[in-house]
């Protein structure tokens, strides 16, 4: 299975066009941001999966358990190619809106350090108030 490389979510804007999240909004609208290896991926209900991750690094919050489990919207509902894969090393942004699909940065691990550094630089300037209502 491949891991999703989704780029956030989008919502209709006032003009009727679709507006995606900015990078700071993606961070502001997240409950957790973690880097690690997917140990287990199981369907739990229609359109939901439970992902267990061996965490190498917590970015938001700054620390947590060595193993974390998240109940997430299943990305395969949108695209079967975006399935989470057991054993994949990812940087995952867990959205606070449980209906949104988590944003993952796998890229064979090559993009993870640059993305992690970008997140670390941006997080201090981001608050929950920066999350637009449409993404909550």
CATH number at residue 79: 2.40.50.120
Output the pLDDT for position 111.
82
pTM: 0.82
Distances (CA, A) of 37 to 21, 25, 124: 26, 25, 25
CA–chain centroid gap for 41, Å, is: 15
Does residue 4 sit within a domain? no
Task: Note down the domain range covering 54.
Answer: 21-124
Does residue 28 sit within a domain? yes
Does residue 10 sit within a domain? no
61 three-state secondary structure: coil
Pairwise pLDDT comparison (108 vs 87), residue with the higher score? 87
Does residue 109 sit within a domain? yes
Does residue 73 sit within a domain? yes
Domain count, the chain: 1
Does residue 115 sit within a domain? yes
Output the pLDDT for position 129.
85
């Amino acid at each position: 299975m491949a891991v999703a490389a989704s780029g956030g979510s989008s919502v209709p804007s006032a003009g009727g066009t679709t507006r995606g999240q900015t990078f700071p909004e993606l961070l502001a609208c997240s409950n957790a941001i973690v880097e690690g290896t997917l140990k287990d991926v199981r369907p739990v209900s229609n359109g939901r999966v439970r992902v267990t991750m061996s965490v190498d690094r917590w970015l938001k919050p700054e620390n947590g358990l060595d193993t974390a489990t998240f109940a997430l919207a299943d990305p395969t509902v949108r695209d079967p190619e975006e399935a989470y894969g057991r054993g994949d090393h990812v940087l995952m942004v867990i959205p606070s809106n449980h209906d949104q699909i988590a944003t993952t940065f796998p890229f064979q691990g090559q993009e993870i350090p640059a993305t992690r550094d970008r997140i670390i630089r941006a997080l201090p300037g981001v608050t929950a108030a920066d999350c637009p209502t449409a993404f909550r």
